[in-house]
Chain A
Amino acid sequence: MSIASNAEAGEIRQPVHVTNVLVEGETGNRRRISRANVERFISICSPLFLLAIWEIAAQTGRIDTRFFPAPSAVFRTAGTMIQSGELWANLSVSLVRIAVGFTIGAVPAVIVGLAMGLFSPVRAVVQPLIDALFPIPKIAILPLFILIFGIGESSKYAIIAVAVTFLVVINTVAGVRNIEKVYLDVGRNFRASPLMIFTDIALPGALPMIITGLKLGMGVALLVLVSAELVGAKSGIGFMLWQSYQVFQIEKTYVWLLVSAVLGFASAILLNGMERVLIPWKPR
C-alpha cells in the first residue's frame, strides 16, 4: 500500500526504489528515496569532479601535459578529428571488422553449441578440441592468421571470429544442458521432430546463456580487434592509437582510447537491448 501512496505522490520513478519501499516503513521511505537520488547525483558528479581536477591540474602545470593532456584539449582534438573525417574513417573500418568477425564467429558457434548440447556424440568429438584450443591467447594466433589470410581484412575477421566462437559455443552448450529436463520430455511426449526440438525448445531454452556468450564474446572481440590493429593493420582504432603514440600526439591517443571505451559501452547497450527483445520472459 505504501507503493501506491508514494507513486501518487510522484516519488517513485525507478523500480529500484520499490524494494526499498517494501522493506522500509512509511516514514523511512522518503528519506531512503531521497538518499537514492543523492547517490545517483554523486555517481554523476564523481567522474566530472575528477575531470575538473585533472583540467585544473593540467592548466596550472601541476601534471605533465605531455602525458596527461587537459580534458579540454582532448575534446578539442576529438572535434577536429571528427571534422576532418579521420575519426569516422577509422572507426567505421573497425566497426566493419567487428561486425563481420563477430557474425562469422557467433552464428556457426550457436549451431555447433546447440548440436553439442543436444547430442552427446557431437560433444564427444568437439569438446576436446575446444578444451585444447580455448586456453590459447587469441592474439597469439595472429601471426599465423596473417600468414594464412594475409595482412588484409581477412586476418582481422578470422581472429575476431575465433575469439568470439569459443565463448559462444561454451555458453550455448551450457545453456542447452541446463534446460529443464521436463521441456525435453514434453517435446518427446508430443512427438516433436528433432528439428522442432532444436528450434522450439533447445534454441529458446538456451537463449539466455547464448546472449551471455555473445556479451562475453563482444568484450573479447573488442580486445582482440584493438590488439590486432595495433600489430598488423593500416587503419582502425588500434592502428591510429599506436600511430598517434609513435608520433607523440598524445591528445589523439586519448581520443582513440575514448572511442574504444564508447564502442564497448555502445555494444553493451546494443546487446542488452537485444536481450530484452529476444527474451521477454527473462525475469529482471
Chain B
Amino acid sequence: MAQVTSQAGSHAVLAQPKVRVQGVTKRFMVKDRVVDALAGVDIEIRSGEFFCIVGPSGCGKTTLLRILAGLEKQTSGTIEVTRDPASDRPTNSMVFQEQSVFPWMSVRDNIAFGLKARGFSKRDRYAVANPYIQKVGLTGFEEALPHQLSGGMKQRVSIARAFANDPEIMLMDEPFAALDEQTKLILQAELLRIWEETRKTVVYVTHSIDEAIVLADRILIMTARPGRIKDLIDVAAVFGRPRQVEAVKSSAQYGELFGRVWGQLRDEVVGANGGMAEGSMSS
C-alpha cells in the first residue's frame, strides 16, 4: 500500500491541492540490476481537475498511477490526498483497462463491486449502481455477462464501477488504449459528459497526446526513464468547459497544442528508443 496520508478537516480547501505528490521515487530490482522508474516526482493536482500524464513508454507513468492507487509502494516520498472529512468515501478508485471487468459477474455486480467491498447490502449497492448503469448507457444490459458485450461496452462497465464507488479521486490507466478509434471517440465524449456531472478529480495516464488534449485541464509530460517532470501544459487556458470532442479536435488551437506537447515528448521518445522515434508518434 502506498503511504496515502489523509488530511482531513482543513478549511483552506482552495489553497490546498487535492493531491500532493512530493519527492516520489521508485526503484525496482530486475535480475540484480537496479532500475529507477521514477526519480523524484513532485505534483500538485487541484480539486476537480482533470489531470493527464503523458510520457514515452516505460517512463514510469503507470508506476506513478499504481502508487497513487495503493497497488505499489514508492521507494521514497509522500503522497497526500485531501479528504472530505464529512464522508466515508474511498480515497481512490481506478478505471482499469477493459480486461479488468470480471467475466463471472453480471454488469450490475461488476459496477457494484466496490460498494460490496465497502459492506453495502445488496439492495443498497444496486440502488447506488443503477443510475451509473444508466449514465454509461448500459440500461437493458444489467444482467448481461461481459462476454456478451463489446470492448467499448466493457470499458463503460469499468468506468461505471469506479464512478459508482464515489471516490475522492479517480485514477485511469489508459482506459481506452485497446479500443478502436471510433469507439474511443465516443467513449471520450461520454467520459467528459459523466465527469462534467461529478467533477471528480481525475488522474489519467495515456500515451496518446490527442486524448490528453481532448480530456485534460493540464497535461504533465514526463521524461524517459527514470521518470521526472518535463513540462506542465495548461489546456484549460485554451479549451474551456464543457468541451465537445469534435470541436476541440477541429479547432486551430488543437494543432498548435499538439505541436507543443509533441515537441516536448519527441526528445524523450527519441532518447528512449535510440533514435527510432520517426513515425512512432501514432497514439
A interface, CB within 8 angstroms of B: 180, 182-183, 185-193, 196, 200-201, 204-205, 207, 279-281, 283
Contacts and interface: CB of A to CB of B under 8 A. Distances in A.
Interface of B: 69-71, 90, 92-94, 96-97, 99-100, 102-105, 113-114, 116-118, 145-147, 161, 165
A186 B96 contact: yes
A189 B66 CA distance: 9
Nearest to B92: A189
Please give me the 7 A-B residue pairs with the lowest Cβ-Cβ distance, nearest first: A204-B104, A190-B114, A192-B117, A281-B103, A182-B100, A189-B94, A190-B117
Contacts of B105: 200, 204
Nearest to B110: A186
Given A188-B71, A191-B90, A281-B147, A196 B100 contact: no
A180 B99 contact: yes
Contacts of A188: 70-71
30 contacts: A180-B100, A182-B96, A182-B99, A183-B100, A183-B102, A185-B71, A186-B94, A186-B102, A186-B113, A188-B70, A189-B69, A189-B93, A189-B94, A190-B93, A190-B113, A190-B114, A190-B117, A190-B161, A191-B114, A191-B118, A192-B116, A192-B117, A193-B117, A196-B117, A205-B104, A207-B104, A280-B145, A281-B145, A281-B146, A281-B147
Contacts of B92: 189
Nearest to B118: A191
A2 B148 CA distance: 23
Given A186-B96, A188-B71, A283 B117 contact: no
A16 B71 CA distance: 44
Contacts of B116: 192, 196, 200
B102 A204 contact: yes
Contacts of A190: 90, 93, 113-114, 117, 161, 165
A185 B161 CA distance: 14
Contacts of A189: 69-71, 92-94, 96
B259 to A, nearest CB: 35
A181 to B, nearest CB: 10
Nearest to A191: B117
A187 B116 CA distance: 11
A75 B92 CA distance: 69
B141 to A, nearest CB: 14
Chain A interface, DSSP helix/strand/loop, else mixed: helix
B73 to A, nearest CB: 12
Best-surrounded residue of B117, B145, B147 (most CB of chain A within 10 A): B117
A176 to B, nearest CB: 14
A180 B102 CA distance: 10
Nearest to B145: A281
Nearest to A186: B100
Nearest to A201: B102
Contacts of A204: 102, 104-105
A182 B145 contact: no
A281 B147 CA distance: 6
Nearest to A205: B104
A197 to B, nearest CB: 9
Contacts of A192: 113, 116-117
B150 to A, nearest CB: 15
A185 B96 contact: yes
Contacts of A191: 90, 114, 117-118
A200 to B, nearest CB: 8
B93 to A, nearest CB: 7
A207 B103 CA distance: 12
B128 to A, nearest CB: 14
B153 to A, nearest CB: 15
Nearest to B109: A200
B160 to A, nearest CB: 13
A182 B97 contact: yes
A196 B105 CA distance: 13
A283 B145 CA distance: 12
A17 B105 CA distance: 31
A188 B73 CA distance: 13
Contacts of A207: 104
B125 to A, nearest CB: 12
Contacts of A200: 102, 105, 113, 116
Contacts of B70: 188-189
A183 B105 CA distance: 12
Nearest to A278: B104
Contacts of A187: 117
Nearest to B71: A185
A6 to B, nearest CB: 25
Nearest to A190: B114
Given A189-B92, A200-B102, 12 more contacts: A182-B97, A185-B69, A186-B100, A189-B69, A192-B116, A192-B117, A193-B117, A196-B117, A200-B113, A204-B104, A280-B145, A283-B147
Given A191-B118, A280-B145, A185 B102 contact: no
Contacts of B96: 182, 185-186, 189
